[in-house]
Every structure is written in structure tokens, then in C-alpha cells.
Amino acid sequence: MTGGCDRLPRMQRTKLRNSIGVMAAVSLAACSWWGHKRRDPPNPTEIIVNGAPADSLVFVDGSQAGQPAVRGRPQMLEVAPGDHKVEVHSGDRVVYREDVYVASGQHVMVSVLSGWNR
């Protein structure tokens, strides 16, 4: 017993194969045409605070940001783009203050120095 295509004349089989090939190629092309390209997420906008005394707290724009500082570990704080006031509090004292501008997707390093910075 032979398949359904064997019953067709040779010329019709060739046209059928060509048609199937063209439809397959068009279908595959359509997949890549309509498929979306994955975009990488934008870089976070961050202030990185380095050198804060152990157990001190970092405040950004008057609100506590992150956990108490651990000596030797920088704190990475995600913020909105724009101007920010960074303060480091130790107990009830402000031991460091700096105004910074962070552009969208930028990482700004704040190195805590001894004394005050206004």
C-alpha cells in the first residue's frame, strides 16, 4: 500500500512539496518577525556608602536607608535619580553629611571621612 502523495502525478507532488516548504519558511520567518527581543533591565540608581563606622545608621533624605553598618562592608542603597542628602548617624549624632546628585542608572560612591562634611 502506498501513501497519499504517491497517488498524485509527479508534477503535483513537486508543487505540493514546494508549497509546504514555502509555508514552513514563511511560518518560521513570521515567528522571528513578531517575537519580541528581551531587553536587559536598566541599571539600578544607587548610592554606595563606604567607611561608615560600625553600627552607625545611614539616612538618605531624612529617612533611614538600609541596616546598621558593618565595618568594612559598603552599603548599596537604591535611590531615585536626583539630588540626595546622605547622613551617617552614630547614636544621636550626625557624624557625616554629604549632598550628592545621582543620574539614572548611575552608582555614586560616598566615602565617609572622619569629621563633618556639609
- Indicate the pTM of the whole model: 0.62
> Does the pLDDT value for residue 107 go beyond 50?
yes
Answer yes or no: are the C-beta atoms of 117 and 96 closer than 8 Å.
Answer: yes
Mean pLDDT of 8-29: 71
Rounded Cα distance between 78 and 70, Å, is: 18
* AA identity, residue 64: Q
Q: What is the pLDDT at residue 116?
A: 44
> Does the pLDDT value for residue 29 go beyond 90?
no
What is the share, in percent, of the chain residues with pLDDT greater than 90? Answer: 42
> Does the pLDDT value for residue 115 go beyond 70?
no
